[in-house]
Amino acid sequence: MRSVLFLVGLALGFLGGVGTIIYLQQRNKDTGEMSILFAPKNYYETPAVVTVSGTLTGEGVGNPNNTYSIACFQDRKECWMTSVEASGLHIGRMDSPYAYDIRKWSPYEVIAGDDGTFGCFKTTITIDRQSQQVLWVEEPVNQTQVMCAKSENKIRKYTIENSPGWKKIFGKKT
């Protein structure tokens, strides 16, 4: 009798364990890259300051679950950018602010960037103040330098949008 109860208990325990594993796999199906929910895109401006924050999106972006913040200061003639990326449940370290020189400031747009002196690409960030849209363009430079021998030789274009997790939960129109 004891051996029968032991076998029944063992079978029920096994089935309970299998059921728990299946349940946890289904529950965690949507975790991973989008399990960290970054805030939606935000735009703010005054006559002398323009700020945009949100997710850098586009083909070839390193990690699709990220958040970037760009603050442009007319009097300083530079934009400061910082970012954070998430992978699964891990959030990376916040980058130190990086400064881009402002090339143009008007009531309609702010254009900032770097010339790529120390890398394999140059960056141009255009903020359209009317539509509140951002275009981030990286163009190959220094392609004859040894350090750039294995760099990708194509223009990459990105925009700042709502985070993927935000779009998934609240829809694309928010």
Q: What does the pLDDT look like over 70-108, one tens digit per residue?
A: 999 999 999 999 999 988 778 888 888 999 999 999 999
pLDDT on residue 62: 84
47: in domain: yes
pLDDT on residue 18: 46
The verdict on 46 and 11 lying in the same domain is no
| Residue ranges, the chain, pLDDT below 70 | 2-35, 172-174
The verdict on 82 and 21 lying in the same domain is no
Range of the domain at 13: 1-30
pLDDT on residue 6: 53
Give the closest residue to 104 by CA, choosing from 168, 31, 50. 50
- Tell me how far CA of residue 72 lies from CA of 75, 107, 143, 157, in angstroms: 9, 13, 30, 20
119: in domain: yes
131: in domain: yes
Specify the number of domains making up the chain: 2
72: in domain: yes
The verdict on 63 and 126 lying in the same domain is yes
pLDDT on residue 37: 83
The Cα 8–Cα 129 span in angstroms is 70
pTM of the model: 0.78
The Cα 119–Cα 148 span in angstroms is 8
pLDDT on residue 16: 52
E-assigned strands of 30-97?
Answer: 42-45, 49-57, 66-73, 78-87, 90-91
37: in domain: no
64: in domain: yes
Residues 6+ apart with CB under 8 A from 15: none
